[in-house]
Structure 1
Amino acid sequence: MTTLASQTSAGRQETASTPTGISDVVFDFCGVLIDWQCAAALRGHYPDDLVDRICAVDDPYGFFDYEDRMDHGEALADILPDVRNEHGDEIADIFADYIARYDDSLTRIIPGMQALLEDLKTAGYGVWGLTNWSYETFHFAFEKFPSLKRLLDGTVVSGVEKQFKPNAGFYRLALDRFGIADPASSVFFDDTPRNIDGAASVGMHAFLFDDATHARRDLQSLGVRI
């Protein structure tokens, strides 16, 4: 199978083979199904200027790096000593508190995504989740948004498997778990370009997500009947 890369008119990337029959659609979680906002779990509990620094792209305290380690399967208890050694007790305590109240960072289902999942299910497509997420905090997603648990046929979580996007093996594991024998019969949505590249590397159709309206159009461009 020859893999092709192209840009949609909106500048979103789709990487896949020539469209074939689609049977399954796979979604990332944060930034695609769920609106995750770091600051929402911290604002009102700590000074605004500190929250702004922690949640900035160039965060000097490394919260995103520590979260990545949890997403890759490490336990909070093993990471906290490093936070204390590198940034002191105050920051370590804030990070522990942030993880304990992680559900506060999950602000809503991305507008239009529940309806899209419902339409896909009604039309008979398999609907799945594939996420880089800590095994210690993923439960918050389904506790806060039980409709997602109802609508998804299954979800593969990096922190549980100790495999993660964009590594090709993680996508292959998910395809096997979902019973998808032909990757070209599936579509994957993620808001991170490298994760799109990872899905494309194993033969999945892959779109960079920006909103539900564009996702719906992207699916329809492959012949998905919704």
Structure 2
Amino acid sequence: MSETIRPEGRPVRHIVFDIGKVLIHYDPNIPFSRLIPDETERREFFDKICTQDWNLEQDRGRDWGEAEALLIEQFPDKAELIRAFRLHWPEMVSHAYDSSVDIMLDLIQQGRDVTMLTNFAADTFRQAREMYPFLKIPRGVTVSGEIGLIKPDLAIYETHVKSFELDPAACLFIDDSQKNVDGAIAAGWQSVLFTDPETLRADLKRLLLN
């Protein structure tokens, strides 16, 4: 069972899903294990060049061309590998988490209000929706790269609430990142940390009783 808070004991009326590592898999190592076979060299590439912080700026809305140019200027000998990050991005989202997707679709079938809130570059999200059509089924989605805000910034939770006319205290947010869960709680939402579908089912059973 995950930790959660329930502001003012408010019943859950809105369920908000994160996407990456909750509904679909994400791992840059999938293509790069082929492009940089040596594990130590590959780890150094991600630690020093195509870092998580660098990638997060695309989630905030930075254009891929600009992002690539910044790194290529610093690491001209790695230009091909830097461009490979976006080129081979579809391989990184290799499969859906079917059990999690089933949970989300079951909630929608029950008539629950389901939306999504995700840190995602705008163009790769469009690609993801074509790869995984179930991402088109919830009532709507807030994509960080489309609005220039990222989790766990308070403003992105406030934007989602305003966009979909939600009651913050009646929102249940599901995310695999503790800092994003904490961000939702700071915004007055209820939130659970996603670890696996079985735990999520138990959390939902407990929290959707009323």
TM-score by length of 2: 0.91
Q: Deviations over 1:149-182 (max 9, x none)?
A: 22x21111111100111111100101111221x1
Deviation at 1:145, TM superposition (A): 0.8
* Residue number in structure 1 paired with 2:133: 146
Structure with more helix by fraction: 2
- Figure out how many residues of one structure are paired with residues of the other and give that number: 209
* Residue number in structure 1 paired with 2:202: 217
CA separation in 1, counterparts of 2:54 and 2:76? 14
* Residue number in structure 2 paired with 1:207: 192
- Structure 2: 5+ residue stretches without partners: none
Find the partner of 2:155 among 169, 185, 188: 169
CA RMSD of aligned residues (A): 1.8
Aligned letter for 1:75? D
- Structure 1: 5+ residue stretches without partners: 1-9
Aligned letter for 2:188? G
Q: Deviations over 1:7-62 (max 9, x none)?
A: xxx5x33133243222211011111111111111323233343334445xxx1224
Find the partner of 1:115 among 102, 106, 111: 102
Amino-acid identity (%): 26
Q: Deviations over 1:182-203 (max 9, x none)?
A: 1111100111111111111111
Q: Deviations over 1:125-162 (max 9, x none)?
A: 11111111111211121111112222x21111111100
Contact 1:102 1:140 in 2 (8 A): no
Structure with more strand by fraction: 1
1:22 aligns with 2:12: yes
CA separation in 1, counterparts of 2:183 and 2:6? 11
Contact 1:135 1:159 in 2 (8 A): yes
* Residue number in structure 1 paired with 2:26: 36
* Residue number in structure 2 paired with 1:65: 53
